[in-house]
Amino acid sequence: MFYVKNVPNWERAIRLIMGALALAYAAANWGGAGWAVGAGAMGVMTAMTGLIGFCPMCAMVGRKLDKGH
């Protein structure tokens, strides 16, 4: 594995839900609202960090997953 997970399971679930909602908004408003493209891009990024468990921005600020030590 090339990365260390830095997103806890509860946050991964929230990221998946929020990503799916943003993608649904983007799909529903693709032709009408200019925000749809941005919402779609953010939805994809949010859902992917939820699926993988690694957030590059969190890693940049030094966030590490607490293993209960």
Residue-wise pLDDT tens digits, 3-39: 788 899 999 999 999 999 999 999 998 887 778 889 9
Nearest to 10 by CA among 18, 21, 2: 18
Query: In this predicted structure, what is the pLDDT of residue 68?
Result: 55
The pLDDT, as a whole number, for residue 64 is: 82
Distance CA 39, CA 19 (A): 9
**Band of pLDDT at residue 1, cut at 50, 70 and 90:** low
pLDDT for res 54: 92
Q: Provide the token pair at 36.
A: 């749809």
**Residue 69 pLDDT greater than 60, yes or no:** no
Q: What is the dihedral of CA 47, 51, 56, 58, to 10 degrees?
A: 90
pTM across the whole model: 0.82
